[in-house]
């Protein structure tokens, strides 16, 4: 129940929140406690910003995670198929892993300029080598399984062996990874804001709110606490859900 609430509250807020925001938001002085959650660092209503700000966080984190898997899983699976392809595909990733992810983040964001697509791209770029490595490991193990060999003996199509069976068998490994990876994506989005890359400094975005409103922590703590709690709730909820799903499957 708690688990469900932890996930549902932020997700619902993120999805339907923007519908409840009126267009002409009165601007006031920054960090004033004059409404339910007060005003933020440029005098906007914090509650309105909370309603607006979930979409990007949830979207960026989810999309970046999805893209990391969309790129990383086929990458790893293809690499697992042949030794030659393996070297061609995996060596460059070692390289990418050898550059600290924050340097990648700073450089990529500086080159491409701000914007959500860039942020999603960068978070994907930082994450997918790891996903590729994990998938490659899982796929290598699956490829050696008699079940897959049996399917090949049956003359099964590439689609059924490589995609349906391999994909499905990797689910457990990937699910175990996904919770932490989503959390990592949320964190990267937030850190990007701290470093001033990827998002406009006054974007309505929970992660940006946490960063930009922290100067007003003593005046108007809600402007930091509410978005931070929403991010934490989402991460914790997702991880508990994945844990539970894995435990169920293991039984």
Partner 1 sequence: MTVVHVEDLRAVAGERVLVDGVSFALAAGRVLALVGASGSGKTTTGLALLGEHAPGVTVTGRVSVSGRVGFVPQQPAGALNPVRRIGGVFREIAAVLDGDPESLIATALRRARVPAELLRRFPHELSGGQQQRVVLAQALVGDPAVVVADEPTTGQDPITRAEIVDELASVAAQGVAVVLLTHDLDVVRALADEVVVLRDGRVAEAGPVALLDAPRSPYTRALVAAQPRVTVPFDGAEKPPLVQVNGLTARHRKTVVLRDVDLSLGAGECLAVVGRSGSGKTTLARCLSGLHARYDGSIRLAGEVLPRSLRRRSRTQLAAVQYVFQDPRSSFDPNRTVLAQVARTAVRLSDGGEEEALAGLAAVGLDEATVRRRPPGLSGGELQRAALVRALLARPDVLVCDEITSGLDTLTQASLLDLLADLPCAVVLVSHDLAVVARLADRVAVLHRGDLVEHGPASAVLGSPTHPVTIGLLGRAMEQEKRT
Partner 2 sequence: ATPAAPQASAPKAGGRLRAAFAGGGAKEVLDPHLANLFVEAARAKAMFDKLADLGADVSAQPRLAEKWEPDATLTKWRITLRDTKFHNGQPVRAEDVLASYARILDPNRAFRAKSSLSLVDLANSRAVDARTVEFALKRPFIEFPNALAAFGAYIVPAGAEDFSEPVGSGPFSFVSFEPGKSVVLKKNPDYWEGAPHLDELEFVIANEESARANALLGGQVQYAHDLTPTTARSHTDGRIAIHRSPNSAVQAFAMKLDRPPFDNRDLREAMFLLADRQQLVESVLAGSGQVANDLFGKGYQYYADDIPQRTRDLDKAKFLIRKAGAEGLTVRLDTSTAAAGMVEAATVFADQAKGSGLTIEVVTGNKDSYWSDTLKNGSLSSFRSGAMPIETHIAQRLLSDSGTNVTKWARPEFDELYRKAVSTVDVGERTSLYREMQRSLHAEGGYLMWGFADWIVGAAPNVGGISTAPANTLDWARFDKVWLG
Partner 3 sequence: MTRYALRRLAIGLVQVLAVVTAVFLLVQALPGDAAVALAGDNPDPRRIEEIRAAMGLDQPALDRFGAWLSGLARGDLGVSLVSGRPVVEFLADGLGPTLILAVVSLVLLVPLSVLLGVVAALREGGVVDRVLTTVTVGLHSIPEFALAVVLIAVFGVQLGWLPPTAVGADLLAQPQVLVLPLVVLLARPVCSVSRLVRAGMIDALASDHVRHARRLGIGEQRVRFAHALPNAVAPAVQQLARTTDWLLGGVIVVEAVFVIPGLGTILVDAVAGRDLPVVQGLAVVFAVTTVLVNLVADLVGFRLAPRSAVVA
The answer to the question of residue 176 lying near partner 3 (CB under 8 A) is yes
The answer to the question of residue 29 lying near partner 2 (CB under 8 A) is yes
In eight-state DSSP terms, residue 114 is S
Q: Which of 26, 88, 149, 163 binds partner 1 (CB under 8 A)?
A: 149
Backbone φ, ψ for residue 113 (5° rounding): 80, 170
What is the gyration radius of the CA atoms in the chain, in angstroms? 21
Contact 10, 58 (CB under 8 A): yes
The answer to the question of residue 145 lying near partner 1 (CB under 8 A) is yes
Tokens of 162: 């490589």
Q: Which of 187, 202, 219, 241 binds partner 3 (CB under 8 A)?
A: 187
The closest alpha carbon to 119, from 71, 190, 49, 14, belongs to 190
Looking at 25-33, 45-53, 106-114, 163-171, which segment touches partner 1 (CB under 8 A)? 163-171
Site mask for partner 3 (CB under 8 A), range 14-53, x = bound: ----------------------------------------
The whole-angstrom separation of Cα 201 and Cα 208 is: 7
The answer to the question of residue 144 lying near partner 3 (CB under 8 A) is no
Give how far Cα 128 sits from Cα of 67, 70, 90, Å: 8, 9, 12
Nearest-approach distance from CB 73 to partner 1, in angstroms: 18
The whole-angstrom separation of Cα 77 and Cα 90 is: 11
The answer to the question of residue 244 lying near partner 1 (CB under 8 A) is no
The whole-angstrom separation of Cα 207 and Cα 186 is: 8
Give the interface size with partner 1 as a residue count (CB under 8 A).
14
The answer to the question of residue 113 lying near partner 1 (CB under 8 A) is no
The whole-angstrom separation of Cα 9 and Cα 228 is: 13
Which residues here bind partner 2, judged by CB under 8 A? 24, 27-31, 41-43, 110, 113-114, 196, 200-202, 214-219
Contacts to partner 3 by CB under 8 A: 94-95, 97-103, 106-108, 110-111, 176, 179-180, 183-184, 186-187, 190-191, 194-195, 207, 210-211, 214, 217-218, 224, 228, 231-232, 234-236, 239-240, 243, 247
């Amino acid at each position: 129940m708690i688990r469900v609430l932890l996930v549902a509250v932020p997700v619902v807020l993120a999805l339907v929140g923007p519908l409840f925001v009126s267009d002409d938001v009165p601007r006031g002085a920054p960090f004033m406690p004059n409404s339910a959650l007060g005003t933020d660092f440029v005098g906007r209503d914090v509650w309105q910003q909370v309603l607006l700000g979930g979409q990007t966080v949830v979207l960026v984190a989810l999309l970046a995670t999805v893209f990391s898997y969309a790129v990383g899983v086929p990458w790893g699976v293809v690499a697992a198929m042949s030794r030659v392809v393996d070297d061609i595909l995996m060596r460059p990733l070692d390289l990418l892993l050898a550059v600290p992810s924050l340097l990648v983040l700073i450089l990529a964001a500086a080159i491409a300029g701000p914007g959500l697509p860039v942020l999603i791209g960068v978070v994907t770029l930082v994450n997918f080598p790891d996903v590729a490595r994990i998938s490659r490991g899982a796929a290598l193990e699956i490829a050696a399984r008699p079940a897959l060999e049996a399917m090949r003996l049956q003359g099964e199509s590439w689609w059924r062996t490589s995609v349906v069976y391999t994909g499905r068998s990797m689910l457990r490994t990937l699910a175990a990874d996904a919770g932490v990876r989503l959390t990592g994506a949320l964190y990267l989005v937030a850190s990007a804001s701290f470093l001033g890359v990827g998002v406009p400094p006054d974007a309505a975005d929970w992660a940006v709110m946490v960063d930009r409103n922290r100067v007003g922590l003593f005046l108007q703590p809600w402007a930091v606490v509410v978005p931070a709690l929403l991010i934490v709730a989402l991460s914790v909820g997702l991880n508990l859900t994945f844990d539970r799903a894995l435990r169920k499957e293991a039984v």
